[in-house]
Amino acid sequence: MATVVTNTGKGIIGGFLAQATAAGSGLGSTTPTWIGWGTGTGTAAATDTTLGTPQNPARVNGTRSAVTTTNSSDTYQVVGTLTSGGTLAITEVGVFDAAGSGGPPTGANLFLRGDFTAINLVSGDSIAFTVKVQFT
């Protein structure tokens, strides 16, 4: 038996994540909207549960939406800006399902992790992240 998620189904997934709210969605507060950053040096992997080296500010609650990459609403997008309180070389970003607590924050699930070449910051510098997950 062959099975496939159709193009319309991909749009349903992206739209569902973008429109889910804590009240009545069945998801509770687990919709991944919290963006965090770090200075870790490891390569992102499917088995990751947190960032390699999380940095402060720990996380911001991003704005979520469903956008079109190939098919209608097939991409879940989270946008948020983090501002540095000191000198940092940011090399990773993560999207979590909660703010977490402590430093580094705990108590949240990592939905997505990306790694990249260092972006050097001094106090007051910001990075505006646009994180997209396309369902293909």
Domain boundaries, the chain: 7-134
Q: Are strands 34-38 and 63-67 parallel, antiparallel or unpaired?
A: unpaired
Taking residues 75-96, report their average pLDDT: 95
Name the pTM for this structure: 0.85
β-sheet bridge partners, residue 81: 128
**Dihedral (CA of 44, 48, 52, 54) sign:** positive
User: Measured between alpha carbons, how far is 132 from 15 in angstroms, rounded to an integer?
Assistant: 13
Task: Inform me whether the pLDDT recorded for 125 exceeds 50.
Answer: yes
Q: Do 16 and 135 form a contact (C-beta atoms < 8 A)? A: no
Confidence of residue 2 (pLDDT cuts 50, 70, 90): low
| CA 5 and chain centroid, separation | 23
User: Measured between alpha carbons, how far is 136 from 130 in angstroms, rounded to an integer?
Assistant: 19
Tokens found for residue 101? 């607590």
Residue 23's pLDDT is 46
The conformation of residue 10, written as its DSSP 8-state character, comes to H
Instruction: Please state, for a pLDDT cut of 90, what percent of the chain lies above it.
Output: 48
